Structure 1
Amino acid sequence: MSEIASKTNVNMVQQDQVVGPWKEAWRSFRKNKSALIGTAIVIFFILLAVIGPWIAPQGINDQNLSQRLLPPSKEFWFGTDDLGRDIFSRILHGARISLTVGFSAVIISATVGSFLGIIAGYYGKWIDTIISRIFDIMLAFPSILLAIAVVSILGPSLRNALIAIAIINIPSFGRLIRSRVLSIKEEEYIHAAKAIGMKNSRILWRHILPNSMTPVIVQGTLAIATAIIEAAALGFLGLGAEAPQPEWGKMLADARIFLLNAPWAMIFPGLSIMLTVVGFNLMGDGLRDALDPKMKS
């Protein structure tokens, strides 16, 4: 009886020690203090984007020229701009614009890029050659120049800036998924699925796609930070959001001529961009360390 009890205890201990891959990744992620800080920053700005328009003390376009370029105070926490508008209220509304552009652009680019990468990696041959060469051509141009070219063709607007950012990020997702698929399709379970007559579409949907999502999650988190910077850059150049939209990059562009007289008009939008990007980068690095087996000791 004692031997049976001891074996039972050993089995229970072994079962407790066996955890799923996602649970193990969560444990690893929780141990990364930088990743937790980044996640807290991201959650904070997401909350601002959701509730910001309701807690903003002033309207985003409420102008009062008698209060123009006022420094931060109890009434205007972040000061006012050259038209007397409350910068704090505009930053709260701008959080929704920047995050919407970041998330939407990455969702579009990840969807299109993953589809093209899976097709190229799985079928190979001339399909892979054509898709890969298109990716190479797009990656040959600096991303911001390619975005400027796309917006110049479509016309300056926030929607067209979103489309441009989505287009320039497609190759990074496509090449990432392609390399992953090239490795997965040589696994034994894929050959076994083909041997029993499983259709290619089902193999792609049931086996290839689920096992390729880990790098997409990591790349997507990091790409959101890049998309926010690119949206701000296009707005700063006058190719993104148009007045009077309170987009952070546009706010920087409008305030640059008052840098010496009213530096707060540029400091607070710039800090918002910096903190948001840092938050997504820290969270993305933590996800990479937690989900990538090569990063684990």
Structure 2
Amino acid sequence: MAGVTRTVAVYSLGGTIAMTTDPATGGVVPALSAHDLLAAVPGLDGHGIDLRVHDFRRVPGASLTFDDLTELGTEIDKVLDGGDVDGIVITQGTDTIEETAFFLDLRHGHNQPVIVTGAMRNPTMAGPDGPANLYAAVVAAADPQLRGAGVLVVLNDEIHAARHVRKSHTTSPAAFASPGAGPIGRIAEDRVRLASPLPDRLGPLAPAVRDPRVGLYTVSLGDDGTLLEAWSGQCDGLVVAAFGVGHVPQRLVESLERLAVRVPVVLASRIGNGPVLTRTYGFPGSEKDLISRGLIPAGDLGPYQARLLLQALLAQDVARESIAEKFAVFAR
């Protein structure tokens, strides 16, 4: 890309990548601006990339909200509608990267890629990974090969699709992976090297018309259903993170069936790697039994992504039949 001027807009939201020590507590807190982050990245000069920098939030990843992301998405749309920006980079805390990337991907309707990155080691530590991750994210955002790819996650020189990426370790710089799919590419010698085709995407969803509450219920050994019953009347939709390929204890079946009559209930797997099946097991509480009782299979979406998709669809007042059709896209 040397000699070619390309434009990348950078939005900083805070997170570990932007943290320094707070004298009052001795712990690290979000404090660095987007300009501070870029100043710590060597080697970006000479790539022919014009950077437009936006300080958007300075919060931990765990404190980001739907409102924050909706506002960010609106700002990104305005910038990309202008037509003179080739890609977007978002820096944020890694706690919620897999969710924010999918949330934004469901709403992203432009060809320019949006790259989400962060850091596992804060700038006060030996060998902070933030500068390298930000460098790779800018390179990826500027690369024409990623046009049409939607929202991607770039850390550790790997490029992951929003629908597959997971945070798989609490501290490792190699924490991000795409179980069952692998990264779609890598950054090497200052360019994108694709390893697979660009990901299939659902396509941009329409703006929200309401603010639904969607719950996430994780099934566990010895579950007697008491906490499941507590969701009745408290949510507009529910995602069940079930055992294995989509199984729950038999004593939960009637409660789930009653709940599925009132609100959409999506059946996901708590494993986070592999699909929910639809027609293999037939015992009470199996995936086939639960689907026959009205639950909607999540395909290969993990429970966190399934919750975000269900929330986005309910926010549009999408009919139950259409909700099942949308989830079926992720069963392919």
- TM (norm. structure 1) is 0.24
Greater RCO, CA 8 A, separation 6+:
1
| Structure-2-length-normalised TM-score | 0.22
Which structure has the greater CA radius of gyration? 1
